[in-house]
């Protein structure tokens, strides 16, 4: 689907939203999907769930 922030690749789904400079706008746009992921993680419904944040990107750029 065009414009989707969820990308499917093989057996994985990536949350890949466009960069948003205003944290409040980001929160309003994505708070529901993030809440669902946090809830499913807390109750154990996401087997083999992993999260890769900006740390990997920052490390390759030499930033910390």
| Per-position pLDDT tens, the chain of length 64 | 456 788 887 877 778 888 888 989 988 998 998 888 888 878 877 776 666 665 544 444 454 4
* φ and ψ of 47, to 5 deg: -75, 145
Q: Give first-to-last CA distance, the chain, whole Å.
A: 34
Rounded Cα gap, residues 30 and 34, in angstroms: 6
Domain locations in the chain as residue ranges: 18-47
């Amino acid at each position: 689907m065009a414009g989707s922030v969820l990308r499917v690749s093989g057996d994985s789904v990536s949350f890949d939203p466009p960069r948003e400079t205003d944290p409040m706008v980001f929160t309003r746009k994505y708070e529901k999907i993030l809440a669902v992921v946090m809830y499913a993680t807390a109750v154990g419904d996401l087997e083999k769930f992993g999260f890769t944040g900006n740390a990997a990107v920052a490390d390759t750029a030499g930033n910390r």
